[in-house]
Structure 1
Amino acid sequence: MVYSANAERYGNMTYNRCGRSGLRLPAISLGLWHNFGGIDSFENGRAMLRRAFDLGITHFDLANNYGPPPGSAEEMFGQMLKQDFLPYRDEMIVSTKAGYYMWPGPYGEWGSKKNLVASLNQSLKRMGLDYVDIFYHHRPDPNTPLEETMAALDLIVRQGKALYVGISNYGPEETREAARILRSLGTPCLIHQPRYSMMGRWVEDGLLDVLEEEGIGSIAFSPLNKGILTDRYLNGIAPDSRAAGPSVFLRSEELSEEVLGKVRQLNALAQERGQKLSQMALAWVLRGGRVTSALIGASKISQIEDAVGALNNLNFSTEELARIDGILAQ
């Protein structure tokens, strides 16, 4: 059946300006880190992508190594573009990244010009695109001069293979220096993608201040802390959950009774607010406008619908914020 996008899709979403750029991103973006790879159901992934776009999610976030196997998420997204989304390409923000291990040998990871240019060429081929909207360096490289990595990002924009560039997992001072180098080259740093959630607040120790000072947007990945900040584990670890098995994504020791006790208290507060815990966690990340977009993952359509529903209540009282801090500090 030919896909036709929901005509009302832009009425469902909030769009925030990304730093001091002209680009606006949806407050909720969809990441394809898991559940869109070669081992996953194509039809389920297709249904989720369609529903996300119908709800006004215009930003789809990938990386060269997403899958599994690595590269297969980009291949799946390329099929979606060809089959369903091609008429809507100019309404979409497609991002990808390079920096983690992707192929053997000395050029298959990190931040050399060789790696970044070659990786993006591979990504474009997998997705069937001429360019991506945002290309990230996925992690700092301790052995490559930052000048070389940033020059590679600048080159990629000048080649027309990306419209904007960003960085991910960089600390505050690394971010400031990367922004300075890119600005001197004439290609501003658009965005930073850090891990950020109620239970992982390192960005508050300087990074968010740097981003504001430099005019850089931000998109928070893992805002639900690997699914811990949902109602999934309120009664412990279910035998069929990924935390019960040998998962590299979520380990059972991350769900201690101490953690689960906090989750249950946070869930009670979310219920008082008329939200699910996952919705309150997303609203908390987006509070105050310091974060441009919250990047979610999903394994089913209802999770995407719940995430967009979080936008119905983004405000917190001073008392609610204090209660959250008190629960997390226990």
Structure 2
Amino acid sequence: MSILVYIRNVGGTIKKQSLELCSYAKAMSDKLNLQVVGLVIGEIDQAELETLGKYGMSKILLAGDAQYNKRVNRVYTQIAEQAVNATNASYILFPDNNQGKAIAPRLSVRLKAGFVPQVMDLPESYDPFIVSKRAFTGKALASVQVKTERKIMTPMLNSFGLREAPVDLKIETFAPQIDEPVSRLEIIDKQTNTEGINLADADIVVSGGRGLKAAENFALLEELAQSIGAATACSRPVADDGWRPADEHVGQTGKSIAPNIYFAVGISGAIQHVAGVSGSKCIVAINSDADAPIFEVADYGLVGDAFKIVPELSALFRQFMADK
């Protein structure tokens, strides 16, 4: 038996969230004495794969055919199912992102396996199998017991962290048998934003809301983000009004993130927004309204004019970095 980890291949690179899944799986394997196996789909350099061995992965199944570079969830589900059967996996881990949310439930149905999304920590016990997950948009934790032979989980980003545990890594070619066309769609053009720090990988995020009053005022947040090496984000009204790119929208209807530090500037703190950022280790709120709901979930709060506070913070951070 084994623990199978789905490794997200992003244009030939492996991101932090996949390394965290390896660390999580390795911690489980130390308790269960099971092998940690990774599934990687699509073309990728061997040097990139070898990084996984630093975090406890001892074997990789590589479905590296170029035809799989186009992500098709129904096809990836078939590949994952065959990998589970090939490795006799009892536990299957996916990232808690759009890809994991699309493939894990499909695989759960095909395998008749229990599925627990938004897992917050290692299992509380293995017999019976009980694990805690986020509930009520992050306001509570629920302990879930899974009784099926196979169990699928999507641990949340930053819920466990990176823990190096180097082992010898073996890479094997995996040739799944797909009984349908890999894709019925043709990609005519693809545009990728390569500027800034990816939100999903950012340790610090600086986010703004309608309280900044105009699109040009987000230059203040960009300056703050640059001073501390942070990614930028925004609330839904800001994205809807076209002040910021749609891919910066965080919240229940946007991206769910879990950075170490989340700066919420001029954001009221509607429940839909908080749902997407409640996994943050520390929330710092800056708002002129002392009664804004964001202060109810913030670890630190600054009540005042963001147009005065943010430049002062940027100057302080720049000075701090210069003195290091």
TM-score computed with the length of structure 1 as normaliser: 0.29
Greater Rg by CA: 2
Higher relative helix content: 1
Q: Which has the higher contact order (CA 8 A, sep 6+)?
A: 1
